[in-house]
Structure 1
């Protein structure tokens, strides 16, 4: 009976580890619990290795030794496989962007309800040379204040904000667009994400990409249905009919997008810029965790007519009030 129970338990452990490593094989990447586990690969790898060490404490017990060694082997294989998947997305956190080029510089930063303040946001935009700035959880008044500061320095920006409640920062999303890119109009006809707002802006003269500041809701238990619907919505914006540059807090990693992929893209036809240039595993959230440990849930994605050149998670702003790090990407138009 003990042997049978041992085999059954080993099979359950193996199944759980397989799902945690690659839930896409069974279409479970957006399932409750699994979605949360796969988003923090490095943390789960650490737990697996700790459990392996604990299990080895029982290896001296002869009757359970084969079971213990089997479990330790599975945990080590899981750590290697999941670690390899994570590393394959890129751990390069030192890439430099060329702000003097004619390329499009995109910055996204969830500001946790205006926490960094207008001066700090304007400083980061100035120093990075960003042309399109996606700011989830940033209100219209702060967006306008940032634009006024930049305009006074000879760097004017247009401000687009969508809100579900102006007084509550998390229910606001702002998009700042450099005047050098031309005039844009917010497109309300395409709909939006369900719980937290997304801004979709189209160029008035049709010359330039559709710019999107996205904010799908987090996959907390009571929001799982809305989270999945939000991911379907943003993926639908990358349907190949428009040139699209989209950035924001997606509350999801590349694993969660697996079922939305189209024509070689990561999210619809859009590709994740950071992973394309070897920086897709550098964590942007939370700021209390080092970048090698955190989750990459803040993204810049673009349709195939935009070639990612460089990407960087800005790690020097962890003490300005928000729990997200800015993500900066250089995109080159190739038509």
Structure 2
């Protein structure tokens, strides 16, 4: 006679089946949104920043569904996990970068100073110790700018495009080479995103380069999400003919956001992702109330090489600085 499963086990298995099914459906919806770039509005936009964590959790869920022998849920979870892992692993572990384009190098750094909360002496020390040639700063007030000058930043990077402002609205670009203020990419109600133009001696086509200090609004509510989308879209505007552009700053977006991938598709490479370090977290540092994510980036023209990425903590800011060596093409 066939052995019968106890009634209590049969009844108890149905809630487990439903629970695993709901988990599978949740991961499937998240994977679909990430895979097709469907995230819209609040709270889905900020949630998408945590795709690397979702990918890890999905893999664990696959294992659990297998142990519990929920085969339909296992199949759904396997597909969802594959989509999420495929989105994360290349930028986290695969080296794509061309590190040397045969021309001059620029050591480019970006840092959000938290409206003046960051230690001024450590910012100047960062520039000195890492040999920074171009520094993009966000949340710069006139007082911060004066303090940086007094601490010796002007001795290291004497040229500045100053779009500092009250509170968190201002941004600046500092460089060892002469700069020209080429306007801004932000809209009338956005944070300052100044464009600094320079000529790099020894680079091909006259070495015309623009550096943009990027700062988009954080997508913390429905209104901010709309502004965030508008400001990221502004970054897709092409540079002038013959100019190579670098976007460096606090994008308040990860590579799991379709809006930032649109910026890349307009003609940029993410330096960290090219170096297989695209999941190194840059925010938050202070308090760590949220899991850390990667929202500070250096994006470069595809004709540039990248190497030696460093992520550096500076006391007093909830962001880490990102420092990258950028190589321009050499020759005529």
Could you tell me the TM-score, scaled by structure 2's length? 0.76
Out of 294, 303, 315, the residue aligned to residue 305 of structure 1 is 303
3-state SS, counterpart of residue 209 of structure 1? strand
Where does residue 37 of structure 1 map in the other structure? 47
Where does residue 200 of structure 1 map in the other structure? 195
> What is the deviation of 1:257?
4.0
3-state SS, counterpart of residue 42 of structure 1? helix
Mapping 1:18-97, distance limit 5 Å: 18-45=28-55, 48=58, 59=68, 66=70, 70-71=72-73, 74-75=76-77, 78-79=80-81, 81-91=83-93
Which has more strand, going by share of residues? 2
- 1:84–1:268 Cα change, 3 Å: same
Could you tell me the TM-score, scaled by structure 1's length? 0.75
Once residues 144 and 267 of structure 1 are traced to their aligned partners in structure 2, the CA distance between those partners, rounded to angstroms, is 38
**Cα RMSD, aligned residues only:** 4.0
Q: Deviations over 1:263-317 (max 9, x none)?
A: xx72520111111111111111112699xx6211100011122111232222xx2
Larger radius of gyration: 2
Moved more, 213-222 or 75-84: 75-84
Is the contact made by 2:232 and 2:259 (CA closer than 8 Å) also made in structure 1?
A: no
Once residues 233 and 224 of structure 1 are traced to their aligned partners in structure 2, the CA distance between those partners, rounded to angstroms, is 14
Q: Name structure 2 gaps, 5 residues minimum.
A: 1-10, 201-205
Once residues 137 and 276 of structure 1 are traced to their aligned partners in structure 2, the CA distance between those partners, rounded to angstroms, is 27
- 1:289–1:28 Cα change, 3 Å: farther
Where does residue 131 of structure 1 map in the other structure? 133
Once residues 32 and 239 of structure 2 are traced to their aligned partners in structure 1, the CA distance between those partners, rounded to angstroms, is 24
Is the contact made by 1:238 and 1:244 (CA closer than 8 Å) also made in structure 2?
A: yes
- 1:238–1:91 Cα change, 3 Å: farther
Is the contact made by 1:193 and 1:229 (CA closer than 8 Å) also made in structure 2?
A: no
Q: What is the aligned length? A: 307
Q: Does the alignment pair 1:252 with 2:253? A: yes
Q: Deviations over 1:64-122 (max 9, x none)?
A: x74xx543564465345423422210259xxxx99xx9411110111111112221100
Q: Name structure 1 gaps, 5 residues minimum.
A: 60-64
Mapping 1:181-260, distance limit 5 Å: 181-188=177-184, 191-192=186-187, 194-203=189-198, 207-221=207-221, 222-237=223-238, 242-257=243-258
Moved more, 117-126 or 196-205: 196-205
Is the contact made by 2:35 and 2:83 (CA closer than 8 Å) also made in structure 1?
A: no
Moved more, 46-55 or 23-32: 46-55
Is the contact made by 1:147 and 1:156 (CA closer than 8 Å) also made in structure 2?
A: no
- 1:161–1:15 Cα change, 3 Å: farther
